[in-house]
Amino acid sequence: MAKSKETFGKKEKEKKRQKKKQDKQLRKEERKAAESVEMTVYVDEFGNLVETPPDPTKKKKIKAENIVIGVPKQEDIEDDHIRRGRVEFFNDQKGFGFIKDLDSREKYFVHVNGLLEEIKENNMVTFELEQGMKGMNAVKVKKSK
């Protein structure tokens, strides 16, 4: 009699291949079974997920015009009162610096175009604020007495 051509290693590989095929088939059947189960979830008036449908008597009508999508535009801040501050830094060659507000302790950018008279570091100044490209800028800057 002729000896079988299948070796032990070949038999083991074939068993592994069959096992993988069966596992794959089982997973496929499980996915189909999971898809067939209906998962319906509702959101109640408080934003919680519930399994029961909402009560139609609690339904509110909302106009589409009243819904704001995105961030509302910030109104230009009109602050006409004069502020007092101290010049923290000013570079004459480059023409800009920073003023620290005495009340709020915030620093504001100042450009040479916003000056009414020359200023130097540590000068006490009065100024007004104006919305700039990157934040609030000090304008109408002059030395205080």
What's the chain's average pLDDT?
86
**What is the pLDDT confidence band of residue 46, given thresholds at 50, 70 and 90?**
confident
For residues 92 and 136, membership in a common domain is answered with: yes
Mean pLDDT across 51-71: 85
Q: Would 74 be classed as within a structural domain?
A: no
- What's the DSSP call for residue 115? B
pLDDT of residue 79 exceeding 60, the answer is no
When comparing pLDDT for 16 and 47, which is higher? 16
**What is the pLDDT confidence band of residue 124, given thresholds at 50, 70 and 90?**
very high
When comparing pLDDT for 105 and 56, which is higher? 105
For residues 91 and 45, membership in a common domain is answered with: no
pTM of the prediction? Answer: 0.45
Q: Would 94 be classed as within a structural domain?
A: yes
Long-range pairs for 130-138 at CB < 8 Å and ≥24 separation? Answer: 131/76, 131/77, 134/109, 135/108, 135/109, 136/77, 136/108, 136/109, 137/108, 137/109, 137/110, 137/111, 138/83, 138/85, 138/99, 138/108, 138/109, 138/110, 138/114
Q: Would 75 be classed as within a structural domain?
A: no
H or E element that contains 141? strand 136-143
Tell me which residue range forms the domain holding 112: 83-143
Domain count for the chain, please give it.
2
Predicted pLDDT at 145? 73
Q: Would 71 be classed as within a structural domain?
A: no
Predicted pLDDT at 6? 75
